[in-house]
Structure formats: structure tokens, C-alpha cells
Structure 1
């Protein structure tokens, strides 16, 4: 697993208010948005994502008191790479939460938690946005 974070995803109860705050009030620009998610590029190869809590829980699992409703994400270039990283994490002592699964948004992802309980999404996003983030992360790693 490369030493890289491509997404930080935060579950939010009111996505409309979140969009109004970041886009209208702060003047940030969306890299992607729909009725369930808002993505803001905050650095080369790094996206801050706000996800409707109901959709978040449907994919990641329930939000629990004392457990931050967020995931860190590591993107890969294929579904096979996702499965490989998940195996590596579990073999290293992580806990598999959700095995690699084809997603309605067109990609493939699974989840593990580290020994402290922080949840990681390992994802393949075959969109131009997903490829661009990986290209930027690769370029930054060369510096």
C-alpha cells in the first residue's frame, strides 16, 4: 500500500447546509457534487468529501457515539489492487469491515479499520476525476 491519502470523507446530517457553507459562503469550488455528496479538491491528489450520513451509513456502516463519522481513503488503479490492499491491511492487523464490492457509482471499494478503529476506504474510481487524483498523487510523490 502506497503511503497516500486521496480522500477524507466526512458524514454530514445536512448536505444542503454543507454546500451552502463551503460553496456559497466560503466561495470554494466543487470538483463534483450531486444529491448525496460534495467533493472539494484541497491539494494535489487530495479530495475533501462530504457525504449524506444516510448514504455514508449504507456503505460504511453505522455511525456510533465515540466513533468519528469519517473515512480516510486510499485510491487504487484497479479492483484487483483494492482487494490486494485490503488483504495487506488485514494481514497487518487491521479488521476487514466491508469486502471489496462493486458500487452503484461505478467503482469498487471496501473498508478496513486500523487497530485504533479508524476506518479506511480502499477504492478504485474509474472516472476521470479518480484517475486525475492518482496521477497528481504520483507526480507529487516524485518530488
Structure 2
């Protein structure tokens, strides 16, 4: 296995709401919901997904939690915001503040206001509408 990650998929409760948050609220470019012609059933996952092609070659995907569980053949579990966080590297302290404000205006919950950390970074956290934790960092 090569030391790389190509796709991060977030399980979401409401695909339309999450699309609006990331596309309209945060400004990430996307073609919107695709593959919605694959309907799925009780045991086979439906196809509706949202893809954001990010800088550096990484893709952020949004996929309904129920369908992700079916696709992985795994029991759906309770969501937890503290299992992992996604990080955005900002170019300045001002950009950290701007992105946190933008996320809040789009419907995010700020969990920790931006401040200087003892290890030399300036950062703050928000949760998206599905509870996924993001840290916005300037170093």
C-alpha cells in the first residue's frame, strides 16, 4: 500500500442538507448529487453520492450513513464526533477566523473558538450538520 489517501467519505443523515452546507455554505465545487439512478434495496446500497474534488488530488465524498453501512456490509452505528477530525490548513490567523465564521453562517456548530495553542498553532473547531468535526489550523 502506498502512503496516500485518495477519498474521504463522510456518512451523512440528509444528503441534500449536507450538499447545501458544503457547496453553498463553504463554497466547495461539485456537480451535486450523482448516481441517484441506482436505487438500491434493503440489502444493496443505493448510489446517490456527492463528490468534491479538492486541491492536491483528494476527493471528499458525502454518502448517506444507511447506504454506507449497506455498501460496507457493516451494522450502522451511532455517530460520534470524536472518532476523528478533518483539518483545513489556513494561510493566516485571519483566514482561520473567516472560515470558522463562514462555517457557522452555513449551519455549523463552533465547538472551540480559534485561539493560540501552546504547541505553536492557531486553530478552532466546528461540527458540520452531521456532527463531523473539522479543525481549521494556521501554523
What TM-score, normalized by structure 2, do the two folds share?
A: 0.44
| Structure showing greater Rg | 2
| Greater fraction of residues in helix | 1
